[in-house]
Amino acid sequence: MGTITENVKRLLGEIPAGVQVVAAAKTRSSQEILEALVAGITIIGENYVQEAEAAFRDIGDRAQWHFIGRLQKNKVKKAVAVCDMIETVDSLDIAAEIDRRCTEAGKNMPVLIEVNSGREPQKAGVYPEDARTLIEKITFLPHLRVMGLMTMGPLTGAPEDYRPCFKETKNLYDKLKVSSIPGVEMNYLSMGMTGSYKVALEEGANIVRIGNLIFGERPAKNIDK
């Protein structure tokens, strides 16, 4: 593993045109994030609102900010203040709170719908068969813009273990794209992390969320590939 600069340049050199790289900055310092930005990263992904706030204070609009973690209602106001996109909307309840806070802030928020394509009850995300119903309800919220889908896939296992989840999410994305739901743009499909992004790209992802491959391994207790 090289320096952050070397890692970014290597990664961007192999990523196909039209694919966005979100640098997953969980637990990373502002200095590390800045090094990634100077090397060519443009989008920073944060899992926790408190960390996003701290990094935003140091870096501001030198980056685009995506929220990629599980968002709690009591953190939505702060997330709306910092983020340019929220990738993890999975209920009408959280969507309505984002809309309410956007109304207060005079802001529109692009969002992705998080899909639990593995149908794992312990994980966040709407099941694929329920995604369209949720999206249609969200279209009535004036300050949200549904722009695509996001999925995690299994938390452990070999890269190939992710493929069925990625494939199902891509099929759903394609169906929704041709459905032409009013007010919905299926432009982004966010799938794949350090251990699975190559499979995700093969299955049609155009956003990948990369942490360890950019910043290096976290201490063992914090590893989240």
List, run by run, the mean pLDDT of 10-residue segments along the chain (225 residues). Answer: 94 97 97 98 98 97 97 97 98 98 98 93 91 97 98 83 95 96 96 95 98 84 41
Rounded to an integer, what distance in angstroms lies between the CA atom of residue 33 and that of residue 24? Answer: 9
Q: Which H or E run includes 35?
A: helix 30-39
Residue 24, H or E segment: strand 20-24
pLDDT of residue 142: 97
What domains can you pick out in the chain, each with its CATH number?
66-216 (3.20.20.10)
Give CA 219 to chain center in angstroms.
Answer: 23
The pLDDT value recorded for residue 153 is 81
pLDDT in tens, 178-207: 998 999 999 999 999 999 999 999 999 999
